[in-house]
Amino acid sequence: MQPVNLPKKRELYDVFANILVCVFAVANLFPLYWLFTSSLKNSSDVIKMPPDWWPRTFTFANYTEVFRNQPALRWTFNSLYVAGLTTLLVVIASAMAAYAFSKLRFKGRNVIFIVFVSSMMVPKEVMIVPLFRITQDLGLVNSVYGMIWPNVAIAFGVFLLKGFFDSAPDALREAARIDGAGEVRTFLQILLPIVKPGIGALFILNFVQVWNDYLWQLVVGQEKESKTLMVGIATLMQDLNPNFAYKMAGATVAAVPMLLIFILFQGYFTRGISIGAVKE
Amino acid sequence: MKLLRNQTWKENVTGYLFIMPQLVLFLIFIVYPIIEGIRLSLYKVQYQQETFVGFQNYSTLFHDPVFFKSIVNTIIFVVFIVILTVGFALFVSSAVFDKNAKYVSFIRGSYYIPVMVSMVVMSMVWGFLLNPANGLISYAAREMNLSTFNLLGNKNTVLPVVIFVTFATNVGQAIILYIASMIGVPKDLFEAAEVDGASRVQVIFQILIPLVKPTTIYITIINIIAVLKIFVVIQMLTGGGPNNATVTMMYYLYNNAFKYNQLGVASAVGVIMFIITLLLSVPQLRAMFKER
């Protein structure tokens, strides 16, 4: 802020570019607006042309129908359980590993870390056939645990948290050792509280990622009752029921939890997503 | 001496114990599937019976016109979606990054919300909007007397539509990354350019874009890999059709594995995709390790 330059003239390009950015931003949200408003229309209004841009009659009948015709509550519970437990396990396993890679000296440390990080780039979907057969052999098809374990194996959390452990000073650890704290206590009571922001970011990012992990959950959850919300709701699109308002109500049910998470934790996303990128 | 060796031995064991849970899961659910996938790609699999067939699955693949179609489509998707994503995200981020924080977070949010609600939900909405009988877009197309209103049923329009839907849903992530990296560019660089009388467009092209190049590389690679496994939008919007016009490698793999029960062939597709992603991620990995 230099007062000398004020009032600064905005360049024409800047003005136009920002107007366009705003127009596109609103346009980009239009499909979601259409989703919500359509879900509140009745079965004939929803396909009326020319359309009602704002619902004339509000009805929640589509929502009650989704929960009555489909085990949507069960699906929601499955999704919460899968996303919650996966994330909890990811945080535990990757915090331990990241601590070791950052602070402990052991043979093969660098090689193992490089292998972990390299594996992050390969989507598990390309190995879906052998992965499914293992899941089958372990008896985990149609089980939430079949959806959980393969996602815990992904090393993204190790990579993310190692950066946070690296920035915690080694002196802290040494001080704890001199006070006679063992490795486990040093980890749990001294280092873990310091990397809390990293754990927060990992928790949110991973929860969303698992919640939206469609293909693997589609393959594992084959029985109606064992589906997750995303997979279950997606079946509504093929449902014989021609009422689009009903389908849109289902999609809204699947969208709302993620919207809430985003609104509540926006800061974590911005930080968490950027951490994975190369720093300048 | 003995004490020292005891010390390093203890450090080693502690280290291994700490990485043990992650390592075990990694071996079972990542390393083993890769090895098993390569093995299966050399076998004909019928239920519990496996017969070694060498490279027959691969030669089957390369004689299947649908597989070729899936490669071509996947390449088309990757090229267009990545170019659109990088170009548009650069445009948006360079326009807003130096504005006030509230505005930046509003723009970031608007573009990121579709990413959050996921491709499944967005595909459902787009499926409704594009529905030939009662979708809003089909209605608009009819009102404007366009030659086709069934945009998903026409093989000339279906690719651009899928490209657009995927791009519009996922561009928010690139925007978040670019804004973060542009905010990190030192302010004095812009001030110096301003003193020299550079216009904003010049500043963007000559200072900003070169300086965020590492971010561009990162965004390009993660998007290539993400589009390479494009599946949800295909399954939900087109089912690979019309007439295989939108079959992708992942969709082809999925159908072979879980519909046609061709596990060997599906594994071979997986191995090919695995090699491609591995090659693509080399520059990114090199950049990550150079930092250390």
pLDDT for A231-244, tens place per residue? 999 998 887 778 88
Is A254's CB within 8 Å of B120's CB?
yes
| Contacts A–B by Cβ distance under 8 A | 294
B22 contacts A212? CB cut-off 8 A = no
Q: How far apart are CA B25 and CA A279, in angstroms?
A: 29
pLDDT at A1 over 70: no
Q: What CATH number does the domain located at B53-291 have?
A: 1.10.3720.10
**Residue closest to A35 by CA, chosen among A251, A280, A259, A268:** A251
ipTM here: 0.88
Q: B56-93 as b/e, with b when 16 or more CB fall inside 10 Å?
A: bbbebbeeeeebebbbebbebbbebbbebbbebbbbbb
Nearest to B113 among A219, A259, A277 (CB): A259
How much is the pTM? 0.89
Which chain A residue is nearest to residue B31, measuring alpha carbons?
Answer: A119
3-state secondary structure of B49: strand
**How far is the CA of A238 from the CAs of B119, B244, B245, in angstroms?**
16, 19, 20
> Is the separation of the CB atoms in B223 and B89 below 8 Å?
no
For the domain spanning A63-276, the CATH number is: 1.10.3720.10
Q: pLDDT (tens digit, 9 = 90+) per residue, B144-182?
A: 877 777 888 888 899 999 999 999 999 999 999 999 889
Residues of chain B found within 8 Å of residue A24, distances taken between Cβ atoms? 92
The pair of structure tokens assigned to A243 is 């009422």
A 119-138 residues inside an 8 A Cβ radius of B: 119, 121-134
Band (A4; pLDDT cuts 50, 70, 90): very low
Residue A8 has pLDDT above 60, yes or no: no
Tell me the nearest-neighbour CA distance from A39 into chain B, angstroms: 11
Searching chain B, which residue's CA lies closest to the CA of residue A93? Answer: B22
pLDDT band at A264 (very low <50, low <70, confident <90, very high): confident
